[in-house]
Every structure is written in structure tokens, then in C-alpha cells.
């Protein structure tokens, strides 16, 4: 799939087929996250691949009862190591979260290229998810996504509507 088509047609998918994801496809998606850039090449991330149905069900209440996430054959939790790198002069321990979100974006775009649906889940309780997934101290969950084939098939992937025009989001030389 052409790169710009991947970007234009990546959508948040909220309904999944139960079809398993072939190992080679999953490995390519994870490899996209592995090779993502990070500050000073620290790679302060860990991706937890959740396949167990009971664990997926336990994640639902921790994700504000978004029960549809458990429909997907896999849920991926992106975890960020707490760093004390003060990127930009103000980010402090948030710099690890920034790095893992870059990698997670790579993962989500790679998933689209493979015909897989995702939905960036930011509505969750960090402490509850950490407890369900045994995430150690010094780490936080940055985001989660279900991963699977959309129930709607390829029609789930449409170009976005209602996006701001470039002149509202881009400036030259100064804000």
C-alpha cells in the first residue's frame, strides 16, 4: 500500500472480526514500532501484546468500559519508562511518553498498511491497567489499541472529513 494512502485512510476502528492475526503480519507491525526514533535512541518503551480473553476482559473496566476493545484478537498496551530528561525545558518525565507515542504511531500506521484496524485508546486508568498487566514501578501506560481486522472490512478505512485546512494549522517563520 502506498504510504500516503496509509495515512489518508487510517481510521479508528471500533468493531472487529475474531479472525486471528498471522504471526508474520504481527511481527511486521511490531517491527515498525521497534525501529521508531526516540530521544538519544533511548527506546524507553515496552509493548504488551494481550491475546488472553480473560485479561482483555479485565482491561475493559480499566478503559472506561469500552467493551468493544475486547472484541479484537489482540490489545496492545504501549508502556513508557519514566525518564528524567527535560526535553524542551519542561517535559521532565513526560519525555518517555513522547517517545513511546512516536513508536505507537509507527505501529498504528503499519497496522493500516497490513489491513488491520486500530483505535488509539487514551481513555483509561493508568493504575488499573498497570495492575491488570503487571506493569512495574517506573513505567506508565501511554496508550492502548485493539488490533484486528475490521468487522466492516476495507470499507472501514475512509479518508477523514472535517479536518482543518493547512492554513489553520501551519505558520511560516513565526507562530
pLDDT digits (tens, 9 = 90+) for 96-107: 899 999 999 999
Dmax (CA) of the chain: 52
**Residues of the chain above pLDDT 90, percent:** 88
**What band does 94 get if pLDDT is binned at 50, 70 and 90?**
confident
Position 95 scores a pLDDT of: 83
Q: Rounded mean pLDDT of 40-48?
A: 95
Render pLDDT for 150-173 as a digit per residue (tens, 0 to 9).
999 999 999 989 999 999 999 999
Contact (CB, 8 A) for 79 and 100: yes
Within a domain: residue 24?
yes
Position 149 scores a pLDDT of: 98
Give the mean pLDDT of the chain. Answer: 95
Position 7 scores a pLDDT of: 96
Position 89 scores a pLDDT of: 76
For residue 91, give its domain range: 3-155
Alpha-helical segments (H) within the chain:
3-9, 23-34, 53-62, 95-113, 126-133
What is the pTM for the complete model shown? 0.94
Count structural domains, the chain: 1
Render pLDDT for 101-153 as a digit per residue (tens, 0 to 9).
999 999 999 999 999 999 999 999 999 999 999 999 999 999 999 999 999 99
Within a domain: residue 150?
yes
Q: Rounded mean pLDDT of 40-46?
A: 94
Within a domain: residue 139?
yes
Record the cell numbers describing residue 169, joined without a space: 494549522
Within a domain: residue 162?
no
In order of 87, 95, 100, 132, the CA distances from 90 in angstroms are 6, 9, 18, 31
Within a domain: residue 122?
yes
Position 15 scores a pLDDT of: 98
Query: For the domain that residue 100 is a member of, what is the CATH number?
Result: 3.40.109.10
Position 87 scores a pLDDT of: 73
Position 90 scores a pLDDT of: 74
Within a domain: residue 172?
no
Taking the alpha carbons of 46, 113, 123, 88 in that order, is the dihedral positive or negative?
Answer: positive
Distance CA 45, CA 13 (A): 24
SS3 assignment, position 20: coil
Phi, psi of 153 (to 5 degrees): 70, -155
Amino acid at each position: 500500500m502506498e504510504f500516503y494512502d496509509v495515512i489518508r485512510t487510517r481510521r479508528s476502528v471500533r468493531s472487529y472480526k475474531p479472525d486471528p492475526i498471522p504471526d508474520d503480519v504481527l511481527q511486521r507491525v511490531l517491527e515498525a514500532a521497534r525501529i521508531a526514533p526516540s530521544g538519544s535512541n533511548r527506546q524507553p518503551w515496552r509493548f504488551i501484546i494481550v491475546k488472553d480473553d480473560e485479561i482483555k476482559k479485565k482491561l475493559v473496566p480499566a478503559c472506561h468500559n469500552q467493551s468493544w476493545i475486547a472484541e479484537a484478537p489482540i490489545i496492545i498496551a504501549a508502556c513508557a519508562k519514566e525518564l528524567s530528561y527535560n526535553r524542551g525545558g519542561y517535559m521532565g518525565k513526560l519525555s518517555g511518553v513522547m517517545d513511546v507515542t512516536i513508536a505507537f504511531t509507527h505501529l498504528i500506521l503499519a497496522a493500516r498498511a497490513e489491513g488491520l484496524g486500530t483505535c488509539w485508546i487514551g481513555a483509561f486508568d493508568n493504575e488499573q491497567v498497570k495492575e491488570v498487566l503487571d506493569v512495574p514501578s517506573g513505567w506508565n501506560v501511554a496508550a492502548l489499541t485493539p488490533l484486528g481486522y475490521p468487522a466492516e472490512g476495507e470499507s472501514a478505512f475512509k479518508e477523514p472529513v472535517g479536518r482543518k485546512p493547512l492554513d489553520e494549522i501551519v505558520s511560516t517563520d513565526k507562530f
